[in-house]
């Protein structure tokens, strides 16, 4: 199956049904959340992403958050 790259905002909206601010999206692919970064590919100055990469990011963030909460509970 061929991966279709699109602008990050479009990929996030298609994957989640929600719009995110540009600052949030930029933080996701530059700094990350819980140590997980959204994978992007650069085309000129525009970062591109696929819907599947957004879904992988969401799953990884959820797993990292659960692990972090489990560590705090110890």
Residue with tokens 């560590």: 71
Give the tens place of pLDDT for each residue, 40-68: 999 888 999 999 999 999 999 999 999 99
Q: How close are the terminal C-alpha atoms of the chain, in Å?
A: 43
Q: Could you tell me the residue ranges of all domains in the chain?
A: 6-73
Task: Provide the 10 A C-beta neighbour count for residue 25.
Answer: 21
Q: What is the pLDDT of residue 74?
A: 79
Predicted structure pTM score: 0.90
Q: What is the pLDDT of residue 1?
A: 63
Element (H, E) at 46: strand 46-49
pLDDT (mean) for 9-35: 96
pLDDT at 27 over 90: yes
pLDDT at 16 over 90: yes
């Amino acid at each position: 199956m061929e991966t279709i790259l699109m602008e990050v905002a479009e990929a996030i909206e298609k994957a989640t049904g929600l719009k995110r601010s540009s600052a949030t999206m930029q933080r996701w692919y530059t700094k990350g959340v819980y140590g997980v970064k959204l994978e992007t590919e650069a085309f000129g100055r525009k970062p591109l992403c696929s819907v599947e990469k957004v879904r992988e990011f969401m799953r990884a963030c959820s797993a990292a958050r659960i692990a972090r909460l489990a560590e705090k509970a110890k």
